[in-house]
Structure 1
Amino acid sequence: MITSTDDLVIISVSLPDGPVLILGMILSTTYLLIAAWKWLKRIVL
C-alpha cells in the first residue's frame, strides 16, 4: 500500500509513456479519492 503522495509522484514520473502511464494516473486518482473519502467520513462521523 502506498503511504504518501511523494511515492505516487515518484511512481508516476518513473513510469514510461503509454498504457502504463494512464494506469498509474488512474491508480493515483483512485487512491486520492479513497483517502479524501475516508478523511471526509472521519469529520462527518
Structure 2
Amino acid sequence: MGRVLYAARRGSSRIHRISLDTGEALPPLEVYAPVRGLALWRRTP
C-alpha cells in the first residue's frame, strides 16, 4: 500500500483518505462514533 493522507473533522463519523502517490481520493472510512480527538503517527518500514 502506498502513502495515504487521512483527514477528519472533529464530530464527524467519516475519515477521508487521499493517496499521496497518485493524488486520488480514496473511499472514506466510516467510524462507529463521532471523532473526538486525533493523534498523529508515521509508519516507517
TM-score (norm 1): 0.20
Larger RCO, structure (CA 8 Å, separation 6 or more): 2
> Which is richer in strand?
2
Larger radius of gyration: 1
TM-score (norm 2): 0.20
